Amino acid sequence: LTSAGDITVTGSLEARGGSGGSSHPSTGNYSGAPGGGGAGGSIALYSSGLVDVAGGTLDAGGGPGGIPLGWVGAGGAGGGGYIRLESASGAVAGIPAATLLPDYSTGTYDPESLEGDPPTVFTGAWFDLGAMEPEILPFGPEHFVEQGVPGCSIDYEIQMCGASPLDGGLPDTAALDPGTGDSTDPDRASPWVPLRSTAGGIQDPRPALNGRGWRFFRIRITFTLKGGLRAGDGLPFVEEVRIPFRVQGG
């Protein structure tokens, strides 16, 4: 788990190995030897802020060996996995009050972006404009509250759709590709429409969106970092996007 913010664990994270197969009771003393337990996996938490595991359990232990019958021995336990915890300062809070199995190490999380790294894409939830014929209005700089970083880009897109024929209070997501989110039926949902980009400025989405009877919208934001950027240098982020619209007669 990698986070640009803090990571707090108060529940359980498990990457345990599976249990080994046991001897079968129907064969009695002539049972085959039970299997060994599976090896534990790994748990890695990387935070550009703080990591706090007080009260939490992180378990990457090996699985138990199978249970024997008759004259065979028990299966061996699986080997233990590994836990790695990294924060911006290198310190991890709450370790004395946590359960960390079988072993762990800590370190400083200070990643560096590389040229050609894939962008980070955030797709927002659907929002209901609450009207049958909402009209999107022109966008201006005041509708985007963000922190830009020279050499990095922030690109915005908007998508709209109608109400579900099964439940009018929900968006018609059946008209979207489940993998990409692209529209599979232009009469039921729009494609992703450019809204604003670092390179091209504010776009006008109204010709592609208005007059179609769509009432639900969502925003997709793509962050592309320049090479050599570290968290301490400041990262681009979006604090707020405002959608100007009006309903019929208002």
- Encode pLDDT of 124-172 as tens digits: 999 999 876 789 999 999 999 999 999 999 999 999 999 999 898 899 9
Residue 12: Cβ-neighbour burial (10 angstroms; 0-12, 13-18, 19+) = exposed
The reported pLDDT for the residue numbered 75 is 84
The reported pLDDT for the residue numbered 225 is 94
Report the C-alpha gap between 43 and 45 in whole angstroms.
7
Q: What mean pLDDT comes out for the span 69-82?
A: 84
CB 39 within 8 A of CB 79: yes
Which of the two residues, 191 and 28, has the higher pLDDT score? 191
Q: What is the overall mean pLDDT for the chain?
A: 91
pLDDT-based confidence at residue 109 (cuts at 50, 70, 90):
very high
pTM of the model as a whole: 0.68
Which of the two residues, 34 and 29, has the higher pLDDT score? 34
* Closest listed residue to residue 128, CA positions, set 97, 170, 159: 170
The reported pLDDT for the residue numbered 30 is 62
The reported pLDDT for the residue numbered 250 is 54
Q: What is the pLDDT of residues 195-250, one digit of tens each?
A: 999 999 999 999 999 998 899 999 999 999 999 998 778 889 999 999 999 886 55
Q: Across 31-35, 72-76, 184-188, which has the greatest mean pLDDT?
A: 184-188
* Closest listed residue to residue 173, CA positions, set 190, 157, 153, 156: 190
Q: Is the pLDDT score of 21 beyond 90?
A: no
CB 224 within 8 A of CB 119: yes
Q: What mean pLDDT comes out for the span 104-114?
A: 92
pLDDT-based confidence at residue 31 (cuts at 50, 70, 90):
low
Q: What mean pLDDT comes out for the span 68-89?
A: 87
Range in 57-71, 152-166, 179-193 with the lowest mean pLDDT: 57-71
Residue 136: strand pairing partners? 245
Residue 60 zone, left/alpha/beta (φ > 0; ψ -120 to 50; rest): alpha
* Closest listed residue to residue 139, CA positions, set 63, 21, 243, 27: 243
